[in-house]
Chain A
């Protein structure tokens, strides 16, 4: 039988640090339902239709890169891909901001706690959105550049390579950085928003490649769960086993390549 500590422990492993503080204004209670809803949406996503968020445009393998991007822009596919990116960010990365959200809430006066939390989250998601604006066209163009079947494998191999860089390690360390917040007035708004942006930037610098790989794999559930587990564990670890997670991501890449050769998709 599942006990509360077991559920809490499993959730923490998954990256959802369920607070023992049951107060309704605890900021984690804002983040966790949002993340859960986003996961639900990704799991239940329709394979076709207007909200087929996960797929690069079907015509993407035809014509020049510019033509394909123009076509994707005209049909709204780029917008849907960006929306898919944001849903995935809310599902997978919002829980990563939980510790800093607690910091912002705890370092703010009670009367402006929700406002401070909202400003922080706005900054955090803005950083990820900006990254999405840069990466979505790349993802849309990738099938034409690499051949559609190779794209997921290439994404995971890129993510594996990024795990081995010094820049990744530094970004991950900076994800633990806090800073002082002005207590009152417009300076408080500026600091909460700025801290959210800065934390989002560090978080994006750390996890962008894994998230891109998930997008290139059409938000398939298995790779997303794998990436979620890696992202959660490397935040917790004293010395993140980045080479081990690189191996896991490379394994995802090899699996995706094998599936592609067999005419299957990672999902």
Chain B
């Protein structure tokens, strides 16, 4: 077990589940599930702090049960920060408060002091692959950890929607760590929203745009696991949620150490927003904090650190000719867009034409004076729909020419789609905005003889066989491409 002062969060793949942090996690979760929802340290209350679907849709609702007061729910529930530069600091505090409460429950269950939340490192590389293994190969670490697959365990959730592979695993592209190649934390202008997310107020951002880390692996893993994990309102009911977010929090540390000269925002609007965020600690007292309090993990509540914050990517992690482009991006400028501004993408396959504006592209390219290649960020604006958590596969090909087969641009996740699409929700119904870096795809097309005028972008479900498939009313507002 970890020490009692500053705790060490460990990789779940290094734990055996025998009298260690994972074992006691299961014990504590079982105990917390027994507490009534009126208790701020209960499993359901803590999940509702992230999001609550309403009593009618609450999978654990009991008719006639006592509920927290209206003002209490208003003040503490549904406060998860997504699509915002507050995504990382708010979730860091949320995890710390949870860790303190679980640690207290561990002690009450007869366990040791100093319990620390493990993290699910889906990009773990076996430190000594030469050792014999029942499950050789790195892919085993993208599987759901065995303790979470055991239907006798408190960590098991029936509603997960991972496909029928054995063991169920998340797709390689959904565990990608390419987010770490983006050096800026935020960007206030549309187009490229940085590593940490766009500048917003204390709410889900108005057009649902996100930083690179929040998109992949955060959203993509949420979408891949599915079930409770597929929606804001239920995600934290799944015990794997907390290990997933511990890994996201760890990746923030990895990014900070990877770019010693880049920094978290210095803007007071980020460091000390008003009013401050509020959560409950293990004593059920209200704990107020701001992102400024989240900068040093060893000083967050009890304090913690990770057993491994080494850089998983080589230096440089991008192709050599793109290094300068990643290091010093220019303000994104719109250079291409789809004519259509309301596109149904609920069909098994939908193709949309995106056309470049020659003058805009020339102006954006001229800014660089040939010093480096242009980065191209494709935006998928205002995605709306009433449900479904399946990720969507995006391919690109040159329009009207035989410049080769379609190229895979990436996968986009619709985590949070339902809430973001509600007119009475925090987005006002704006939906989600997603981004993919398509710089190398466009280079490849140009090498294949593409005339640079237009592209055809095709959407298909990432995993067609899932229960929780693409929403019937899934719509896309516009596709655009930004040069930076």
Contacts and interface: CB of A to CB of B under 8 A. Distances in A.
B269 A109 contact: no
B357 interface: yes
Interface string B179-222: 00000000011110000000001110011000000000000000
Contacts of A106: 189-191, 332, 334
A180 B341 contact: yes
Given A102-B188, A106-B191, A238-B79, A177 B333 contact: no
Contact of A170 (B275, B423, B427): B423
A12 B381 contact: no
A239 B71 CA distance: 11
A20 B203 contact: no
B267 A183 contact: no
A238 B202 contact: yes
Contacts of B79: 238-239
A9 B341 CA distance: 36
B361 to A, nearest CB: 10
A9 B189 contact: no
A99 B426 contact: no
Nearest to A174: B428
Interface string B66-86: 000000001100010000000
A166 B119 CA distance: 42
A247 to B, nearest CB: 14
A177 B427 contact: yes
A102 B363 contact: no
A238 B426 CA distance: 8
Give the 8 A-B CB pairs with smallest separation, nearest first.
Answer: A180-B477, A177-B428, A106-B190, A180-B478, A183-B337, A178-B207, A180-B341, A176-B206
A144 B92 CA distance: 59
A86 interface: no
A235 B360 CA distance: 34
A21 interface: yes
A239 B74 contact: yes
> Chain B interface residue count: which class?
35 or more
B100 interface: no
Given A174-B428, A179-B382, A180-B341, A103 B357 contact: no
Contact of B206 (A19, A99, A107, A239): A99
A252 B12 CA distance: 58
23 contacts: A12-B269, A102-B190, A103-B206, A109-B357, A110-B333, A110-B360, A173-B424, A174-B428, A177-B206, A177-B423, A178-B207, A180-B341, A180-B342, A180-B381, A180-B382, A183-B337, A191-B341, A202-B428, A235-B201, A237-B202, A237-B275, A238-B202, A238-B426
Interface string B264-295: 00111100011100000000000000000000
A182 interface: yes
B480 interface: yes
B271 to A, nearest CB: 9
B430 A179 contact: yes
A263 interface: no
Given A180-B342, A180-B382, A237-B202, A9 B429 contact: no
A23 B203 CA distance: 27
Interface in B327-347: 331-335, 337-339, 341-342
B312 interface: no
Contact of A8 (B268, B332, B423, B477): B268
Contact of A20 (B188, B201, B429): B188
A67 to B, nearest CB: 44
Given A5-B266, A19-B188, 6 more contacts: A8-B268, A107-B381, A110-B360, A173-B424, A175-B428, A178-B206
B179 to A, nearest CB: 22
Contacts of B382: 178-180
Interface in A193-207: 202
B424 A170 contact: yes
Among A17, A181, A184, chain B packs the most CB atoms within 10 A around the CB of: A181
A108 interface: yes
A23 B331 CA distance: 10
A240 B382 CA distance: 24
Nearest to A233: B274
Interface string A157-189: 000000000000010011111111111100100
Contacts of A181: 341, 478
A180 B430 CA distance: 9
Nearest to B429: A177
A181 B341 CA distance: 7
B131 interface: no
Contact of B190 (A107, A173, A183, A202): A107
Contacts of A19: 188
A106 B206 CA distance: 14
Given A12-B269, A170-B424, A177 B201 contact: no
Contacts of A236: 201-202, 273-274
A13 interface: yes
B371 interface: no
B62 interface: no
Contacts of B63: none
B341 A178 contact: no
A111 interface: yes
Interface centre among A13, A100, A173, A175 (most CB of B within 10 A): A173
A111 B202 CA distance: 33
A27 B243 CA distance: 42
B130 interface: no
A109 B79 CA distance: 35
